[in-house]
Structure 1
Amino acid sequence: MTRSDHPRPPRPPSRRRLLQAAGVVGAAGLGSAALAGCGSATGSSAVELTFWSWAPGIEDVVALWNQQNPDVQVLVSRQDAGDAAVTKLLTAVRAGNGAPDLVQAEYQTITSLVAADAIADIAADLAPETPEHFSEGIWSAIGVGDGAVYAVPQDTGPLQLYYREDIFDDLGLAAPTTWDEYAEAARVVHEADPEMYLGTFSSTDPGLFVGLAQQAGASWWGIEGDRWKVEIDAEPTRRVAEYWGGLVEEGVISVDPMYTPQWNAALNAGTQIGWVSAAWAPGVLEGNAGSTAGRWKMARIPQWDAGENATGNWGGSSTAVVAGGEHQAAAVRFAEWMNTSAEGVLALVQHGGIFPADQPHAEEALAEPPSFFSEQPDFYELSTENAEGVRPFTFGTNVNVAYSIFNDAFAQATQTGTAAAFGDAVTAVHDGTVADLENQGYLLA
């Protein structure tokens, strides 16, 4: 189903060259001939598409589509998430065979996949109303300027605050609405019990830090004319780093990495009584702190300026169409159904437990709160309102490098334990990211 009556506007040819390093193309330059094996016809008229995904319950979602669409059958091939998925896809692209028709792609990987000519610009095949299903912040994550669109958003992770309501009540605290109030609450909590903390700064989770910087108005990468621009060491990110570094310096939050046995034990013991996390956090809390069910509450993330509704995103993924496939229009049709139709979104929520990026159908699909927050009936109402405030953010082609530098720089900063050290870590991430782009041959503004 090609929507030729809604063609994309012509774009200057320099965009993809911008995404590719000057003289260092790597996997880029693999055109449609390299991927001619994508998609195949089965029977006399049916199209068969292969979909690489790691989402829970995705087979059940796809089965619903296949029952209703005998002309386009989708076969799920379950893959590992994260860097492993990207590496496997790029290997298949370089080899010129074995690549799927569709792939689940995390938002921070989109630009890298575009630079490698691994995923297609699907703007010409999208229904004109599709962008209206998503917040501006989420939609910005799947395009790289000039009207190009490289995926359909699937799920998202707007940041919000989780806290032990029972302990807050005992201490006479209300959910903080600003970061100043959060800092004061952290002081009260720790003063009440020196072993108790409202939160932690985890130097092993750059994705959370990026979401916090995004809320403050940062976009670490940008495009200026025909060049990349890096703006990590700028006011929004420094504000976030020095804020958390100041709390570490005061000793009122911990520096235990998240997802460790020590952190899990603190959640269960009531010595870690808050968590700035994403909309998908209830499942983590239920799995790691099940004994505390019924004692937690969720609130919107604290704001830098009272009365705002701004947040960042941590996690989430999209459905991208692999470049060079013979059935791009059919692949887009499936991606849109899964991520923007009432049936598809409901199936993703019911079978995969995701927090959908789609806004029109989120309220109906999320009618019941997660079981861990069964006593907070407005859980998803607050989450969907919060998601509307996700700010735009552009990822560059070397996210993995920036995140690796982050881990090293902020590990050192947490050991030093000062706000100044956290500021120095931001500079280190910025300088290392710029140096890596220059070494690859990218043009910088």
Structure 2
Amino acid sequence: MKKSRVLSIAAAAVISTIALAGCSAGSGSDGGSGSGDAASCDASSGPVTLNFTTWVPNMDKVVALWNEENPDVQVKVSIVPNGNSGTYQNFFNQLKAGNAPDIGQVEYDTLPAFRVQDGLANIASCEGVSDAEADFSDGLWNQVTFGEDDSVYAIPQDSGPMALYYRKDLFEKAGLDVPTTWEQYAEDAVKIKEMGGSITNFAKGDVNQFAGLVSQAGGQWFDTSDGTWSVDMTDEASTKVADYWQDLISKDLVTTLPSFTDEWNNAYNTDQDWTWVSAVWGANTISSGAPDTSGKWAVAPMPQWEEGETASAAWGGSSNVVFKGSEHPAEASQFLVWLNTSTEALDALNKEANLYPASSTGAELPALTSGVEFYGDQAIYEEFATAAENIQPFTWGPTMTQTYSDISDGFGTAASGDGTLLEALESGQEKTIAALEAQSIAVK
């Protein structure tokens, strides 16, 4: 499976509230966020077999490298459908029954759903875990710690750093510089419309992309710093981003096509849509969906709210967790640090599964430092490596499927000219709080 398909699915896949309701919620002073006690990280005596469930293709070939070098700690891989295709529900059922695998793959925006059900082992005290932090950006590390001190609930695996894909040929022909600020981006939108095109497509169904834009602006929809969930989808940054895109929509400066459809692909395969603010996996999405434009695209940093800033964000990506109940958290953590930080494993993951690694070490892989023909031989992954270092922290909530759906409904209404994006966020906030309260999760 190519990267574009793996992460296009992964970016939108989150646990359903039905699955959450099927498990008993945590309780106590943490407001239902589960026990944060660190797992016992004493080494097991005798040979160990770890069960690892993932949907990364060819992961068994990567794990074979570990098994050959570590005869006393063997890893057994099960390759399954992606999380939202049943694997997350299976994980929750297994946790409830007490027979979950030692290790599982969980996307960043789904981690809180497992955390709130106390399904993740806190591996912070396991050997090598604290040292691994240096291999990841602050934003990615925040995804697996939830901003908690002395807690680590996963090791980042792959990442979705965002940047600006743009039609270099069209910008040059129009005499336009690549926009470095959102103000310049909006000014270019006006000029591009006058030439019969659109600067981009506003993806009314891709709320996770919008969340990335909010993250870049410094927004934060969820917080658990005082032990309870707080929800604020209309903070200053979120309002700024919503008002910005609402203005572009109201002035008909952007298209509003459903993402990843034939119509959407055609807009990028012609001269209609000139840019896409997207993640690293979008490189394959464009090349496969817009083949007639080969050699005409390039990649630049995301536009900034203030000239000279370098903030980026993430859209998509997964982590590896040690599930509560594993009898071998020490060995599982040791394996996960190897899998996600060693050059040997990262090189194999890239070659066998086309994964873009979350680790900064992975950015130095030969395949990610070479020019890409479709993008005029630009070494585009170097741009994403820089973006990965500047991903802004963002905490996901425990009911993201419903949150995405509720906001998406409002975005669709706003895109049709009835209502606004800000009103959609306000409604999404109210419904998210209600969903948390319905599950007896403390929220304010």
What is the TM-score when the length of structure 1 is the normalising length? 0.87
Match of 1:3 in 2: none
2:160 corresponds to which of 157, 160, 164: 157
1:263-342, aligned counterparts within 5 Å?
A: 263-342=264-343
What does 1:24-103 correspond to in 2, within 5 Å?
A: 45-83=46-84, 84-97=86-99, 99-103=100-104
Matching of residues 118-129 of structure 1 within 5 Å: 118-127=119-128, 128-129=130-131
CA offset at residue 155 of structure 1?
Answer: 1.0
1:175 aligns with 2:178: yes
- Alpha-carbon separation, structure 2, partners of 1:91 and 1:262: 39
Note the aligned Cα RMSD (angstroms).
2.2
- In structure 1, the residue matched to 2:399 is 398
2-structure distance, mates of 1:321, 1:224: 23
Moved more, 273-282 or 343-352: 343-352
Gaps of at least 5 residues in structure 1 are 1-14, 32-40
Q: Letter of the aligned partner of 2:426 in structure 1?
A: T
Distance across 1 between alignment mates of 2:29 and 2:106: 21
Task: Look up the SS of the partner of 1:200 in the other structure.
Answer: coil
Q: Which residue of 2 aligns with 1:189?
A: 192
* Matched residue type, 2:320: T
SS at match of 1:155: strand
CA deviation string 1:10-62 (max 9, x = no partner): xxxxx9745554xxx9xx79x9xxxxxxxxx9xx9542222111123322211
Q: What is the identity, as a one-letter code, of the residue corresponding to 1:228?
A: W
SS in 2 for 1:314: strand
CA distance, structure 2, for counterparts of residue 19 and residue 400 of structure 1: 22
The one-letter code sitting in structure 1 at the alignment partner of 2:351 is Q
| Deviation (angstroms), 1:386 | 1.5
For 1:70-100, what per-residue CA distance to the aligned partner results, in whole angstroms no more than 9, with x for missing partners?
2222222112224332212101111223x21
Amino acid at match of 1:281: G
Partner of 1:36: none
SS of residue matched to 1:62 = helix
Instruction: Report the equivalent of 2:442.
Output: 443
* Counterpart residue number, 2:254: 253
Checking the alignment, whether the CA contact within 8 Å between 1:19 and 1:111 is kept in structure 2 is: no
Instruction: Call closer, same or farther: CA 1:307–1:389 in 2, change over 3 Å.
Output: same
* SS in structure 1 at match of 2:229: strand
Once the two structures are superposed, residues 304-337 of structure 1 have per-residue CA deviations (whole angstroms, 9 ceiling, x without a partner) of 1110010111000111111111111111111100
Contact 1:162 1:274 in 2 (8 A): yes
For 1:185, give the aligned amino acid: D
Matching residue of 2:202: 201
User: What's the TM-score, normalizing by structure 2?
Assistant: 0.87
Q: Which amino acid aligns with 2:429?
A: H
Q: State percent identity of aligned pairs.
A: 37
> C-alpha offsets along residues 359-398 of structure 1, whole Å, 9 cap, x if unaligned?
1342235222445335103x22221111111111111212
Alpha-carbon distance in structure 2 between the residues aligned to 1:17 and 1:153: 28
Map of 1:425 onto structure 2: 424
Q: Which amino acid aligns with 2:374?
A: F
- Whether the aligned pair in 2 keeps the contact of 1:283 and 1:372 (CA below 8 Å) is no
Distance in 1 between the 2:77 and 2:167 partners?
Answer: 40
One-letter amino acid of the structure 1 residue matched with residue 134 of structure 2: E
2: CA distance, partners of 1:328 / 1:114: 16
Q: CA deviation at 1:216?
A: 0.6
Alpha-carbon distance, 1:235 to partner: 1.1
**SS of the counterpart of 1:156?**
strand
Instruction: Could you tell me which runs of 5 or more consecutive residues in structure 2 were left unpaired when the two chains were aligned.
Output: 1-25, 38-43
Match of 2:137 in 1: 135
Task: Name the stretch that deviates more: 57-66 or 138-147.
Answer: 57-66
Secondary structure of the 1:123 match is coil
Query: 1:166 is paired with a residue of what secondary structure?
Result: helix
Distance in 2 between residues matched to 1:17 and 1:200, nearest whole Å: 45
